[in-house]
Amino acid sequence: MRHARSARLAATLIATILVGCGGDGGSPSGASSTVDIDGSSTVFRISEAAREAYSAVEPNVTVVVDNHGTGGGFSNYLNGEIDIVDASRLAKPDEEAKAKAQGIPWTRFVVGTDGITVVVNPDNQFVKSLTVAQLKAIWEPGSKVMTWKDVDPTWPDRKIVLYSPDSDSGTFEYFTEAIVGKAKQQRDDVQPSSDDNTLVNGVAGDADGIGYFGHAYFEANADKLRAIPIQNGADAAPILPSEATILDQSYKPLSRPLFIYVKNSSIRRPAVLGFLKYYLEHIEALAKKGGYVPPTAEEREANQKAIKAGGDASAPTSKDAA
């Protein structure tokens, strides 16, 4: 994470010089005009869209957005390096406890809904759908599945090549818990990457590749990937991820809420508060630009109540159990 820290240091130094030289220009940023964000590569697309849009509205506030996975984001937060965590999962109890013990509580906001999408190469036309049981057989630790024929005897006797997010990824944690049954448990012979674009290119360039990542990365590369409908139960129909099936959560068990966690003390800084207000007021457009389903009206209302509380309360969500 050396590169991320260097980027933040450079951005902070530039902002400090601008303020010191009278470059504040009436910005709401006050003494510090830098907002630091890190975490999920999935939520990165929304926060990056917010950064781009906000820079046109408030050019004197420097927003730095990195993507080192949800786990990496929470780690950097607990090290006092960032203001906001992009998270594609809920904070773990130990992360919550550490934040409280260190006196750096946060407020959670819902910024969208995602459907983790399982993809294959477009040349693969024999996989019409996959059951959750088949996905588990493919991805579980110690899997005996080595070829497509091992999944279905009518499929080719060719080696399966697997691609997945790395162990710092919230997508990795969510997928393994939902499919394998235990978070962060997956077979070893997988090609992992922290960069979703690397996973996209891996499957796109391998006729026998299979992988998974956030739906937005599939949508952005639909011309070179094929999404697989998922069958959740013997009597269920296979469901393809889409805006409608992700929003109504009929795309099970891979629909999930997306969050940002904002340090309460940072919310009281004008630079962060101004950016956060803009982010949440424009979240419908920003989530769509990022490629995800926007928060519901109920979730947007809860977000506004939380921000009005000045970071003293977390935004509840009906999808906490998702």
Q: What is d(CA 101, CA 130) in angstroms, rounded to the nearest whole number? A: 44
Residue 318 is predicted with a pLDDT of: 34
Tell me the CA distances in angstroms from 150 to 90, 135, 141, 147, 160, one per residue in order: 35, 12, 16, 5, 10
Please write the tens of the pLDDT for every residue from 145-193: 999 999 999 999 999 999 999 999 999 999 999 999 999 999 999 999 9
Residue 234 is predicted with a pLDDT of: 86
Region of 263 (left: φ > 0; alpha: ψ -120 to 50; beta: rest) is beta
Contacts of 224 (CB under 8 A, 6+ apart): 122, 200, 204
Residue 32 is predicted with a pLDDT of: 62
Tell me the CA distances in angstroms from 283 to 111, 315, 319, one per residue in order: 7, 15, 17
Q: Which domains does the chain have, with CATH numbers?
A: 2-113+257-308 (3.40.190.10), 117-247 (3.40.190.10)
Q: What is d(CA 18, CA 13) in angstroms, rounded to the nearest whole number? A: 9
Residue 308 is predicted with a pLDDT of: 80
Q: What is d(CA 210, CA 233) in angstroms, rounded to the nearest whole number? A: 21
Expressed in percent and rounded to 5, the helix, strand and coil fractions of the chain are 40, 20, 40
Per the CB < 8 A criterion, the answer to whether 8 and 42 are in contact is no
Please write the tens of the pLDDT for every residue from 189-234: 999 999 999 999 999 999 999 999 999 999 999 999 999 999 998 8
Residue segments in the chain with a per-residue pLDDT below the cut of 70:
1-32, 310-322
Tell me the CA distances in angstroms from 197 to 8, 165, 245, one per residue in order: 23, 10, 24
| Whole-prediction pTM | 0.84
Q: What is d(CA 120, CA 200) in angstroms, rounded to the nearest whole number? A: 10
